[in-house]
Amino acid sequence: MSIHLWRAGISVLAIALVPLSRTDAHEIVGNRFFPATLGIDDPGVNDELSLPTVDSFKTGDVPPVRQRDISGEFSKRITEDFAISFGSTYTFLRPIDPTAAGANGFQNFETTFKYRVFKDPAHEFVMSVGLSVEWGGTGAANVGADPFNTYTPTLYFGKGLGDLPDTLSWIRPIAITGQIGYAIPARRSTTTISVDPDSGDLTADAEFHPSVLNWGGTIQYSMPYLKSSVVDLGLPDFVNHLIPLVEATLQTPLSNTFTSGTQTTGTINPGVIWVGNTFQVAVEALIPINRQSGSNVGVIAQLHLYLDDIDPRGIGKPIFGPAVQPASPFPRN
């Protein structure tokens, strides 16, 4: 397909997706605000910038390696319901052995296409679908970046419990979000040829690249929701901006697992988000679920900017569609 036809196809798709209703900032469904989370993607479609996200942990290698990442992601709405995001990560690898050499470099560049397919304000439910592409060869091989593309179709969802009866009012600030994706590598295996220095014999070693189920979820308790939609306890303003949560991010190889095995790895991430009107700050612990997932507790933190509220008629406006209507993350009765 020529580049002109490709551009024309994208334009037709974008115009077809232009909404007839007005656009709201953030992912607010009824009275429920779904914040951006660190381990999995939130279920919404927004104009936003995560910069920076930083983490530090020890890998599950034997011996383990100290890994530190600095990453950023920019998401831009094409229409009210369709957005494209771009992300990149710079990795520092430091062996525990001080005499061993470390490595620095970018991971592969990533692009995600995301479309919100359903939104039910009365039941605080939202669902989106997406396709993430990791562009092979755009990162450094010495930090583990693959030379081939990986495609991950993903389902995202979020459900607030605000539709529960008043007898369960203390549970209503709870929300659950989740995602399920299937990462498909463009190359099934890589064969490496080595030469025995003594005999001169050639040896071929094959590494198989599995397809992996990426899955996870969050449980959140929104203090802004508690104050605005349940009861005002007269707590300090700082506390009323907090959303404590626990995330789980897990990976399970499902096919082509001859060299990888099928063991699930991942982390459980307890933490907290402080929500403002135009930005949020979050920090979480990274607790490995097994030895293969890591050798100690790590940490991740993020500054996240709401571009749709910072500049609702400029960079925060969908390319096709009306300007966003500023919408506070703090719901009102």
Asked if pLDDT for residue 125 goes beyond 70, the answer is: yes
The model's pLDDT over 209-253, given as tens digits with 9 standing for 90+, comes to 999 999 999 999 999 999 999 999 999 999 999 999 999 999 999
Q: From CA 162, how far away is CA 126, in angstroms rounded?
A: 13
- DSSP string over 109-167: PEEEEEEEEEEEGGGTEEEEEEEEEE-TTSS-GGGT--SS-EEEEEEEEEEE-TTS-GG
Asked if pLDDT for residue 82 goes beyond 70, the answer is: yes
**To which H or E segment does residue 208 belong?**
strand 202-208
More confident site: 80 or 323: 80
Output the CA torsion 249→29→312→310 (10° steps).
-50
The model's pLDDT over 297-308, given as tens digits with 9 standing for 90+, comes to 999 999 999 998
Percent of the chain with pLDDT over 70: 87
Identify the CA nearest to 115 among candidates 16, 198, 188, 189: 16
What mean pLDDT is predicted for residues 177-191? 95
For residue 25, what pLDDT is reported? 54
What mean pLDDT is predicted for residues 17-41? 75
Q: From CA 78, how far away is CA 72, in angstroms rounded?
A: 20
For residue 179, what pLDDT is reported? 97
**For residue 61, what are the β-bridge partners?**
none
More confident site: 11 or 180: 180
Work out the pLDDT band at 207, boundaries 50, 70, 90.
confident
**22-325 has which CATH code?**
2.40.160.40
**Tokens standing for 125?**
């439910």
**Tokens standing for 178?**
């989740």
For residue 8, what pLDDT is reported? 40
Identify the CA nearest to 329 among candidates 283, 284, 285, 273: 273
Asked if pLDDT for residue 294 goes beyond 90, the answer is: yes
**Tokens standing for 158?**
């979020």
* pTM to 2 decimal places: 0.88
- Burial label for 17, CB within 10 Å (0-12, 13-18, 19+), is middle
For residue 232, what pLDDT is reported? 94
